[in-house]
Amino acid sequence: MTTKTMLLTGGSRGIGHAIAIEAAKRGWFVSLGLRDASALPTGLTPETAEAVPYDAAAGGERDWVKGVLERRGRIDAVVACAGILEHDRIVTEDEDTVQRLFEVNVHAPRRLAAAAWDALAETGDGRIIVMASLSGKRVKSKRSGLYSFSKFAAVGLAHALRHEGWDLGIRATAICPGLVRTDMGESAANGGFPPEAMSQVGDVATLTLNTLELPGTLCQAEIAFNCQPDGIH
């Protein structure tokens, strides 16, 4: 098949859903890994997308990749949007919370990239997006400390994948938003910032697809943006 194929996590809502819609509009076929794969998310059709059972906390990446290659014959991009937010203290003794946070935000994207690695290399211009956060660039408050801990690791993952894949034509980018108008973004704002003034999911999706479609000679290791002037400091 000649249609470019994307593996996408976190596509049932928020940023991931907007990316799936934008990708379909641009002619990509999107394989969405979803905990509930009984139906495609709103706005997607079987001609442009599929839903595959997948839980970022439970593994199963190799089976997902194997099935896509059998059905589609290629994988051109991995976009890891699945993520969870915890407001626990960095000195928490709740190890289950810490492990769950890292499993979803860091380990699952690494496993998915590894499972799809050979297929991405075969295209000669494979792409990986790790949807990180400005919380992976700075720790803004003690309330966000544990979450930031995981997102710093997610940014590091993108850098490591970029180096690992460079000679194979694979390019990896960490996208680091500030507050985005999603359930997670509103939870992070904790009522302190108006949703209409946050970055909008459609704009983040446009940025993500534009990044995926850049030539390999114009690779950005990180893209950080914000809806307020605090930057990454």
Please return the burial class of 127, using the count of CB atoms within 10 Å of its CB with bins 0-12, 13-18 and 19+: buried
DSSP state of 200: P
d(CA 49, CA 39): 11
Give the whole-angstrom CA distance, residue 176 versus residue 179. Answer: 10
Q: Which of 229, 129, 227 is nearest to 180 (CA)?
A: 227
The set of residues, in sequence order, having a beta carbon less than 8 Å from that of 179 and lying 6+ positions away, is 185, 188, 189, 193, 198, 199, 226, 227, 228
Catalytic annotation on 54? no
Among the listed residues 147, 208, 211, 212, the single catalytic one is 147
Strand order in the sheet with 171-177: 49-53, 29-34, 5-9, 77-80, 127-131, 171-177, 222-225
Distance between CA atoms of residues 36 and 54, nearest Å:
8
Catalytic residue numbers read: 147
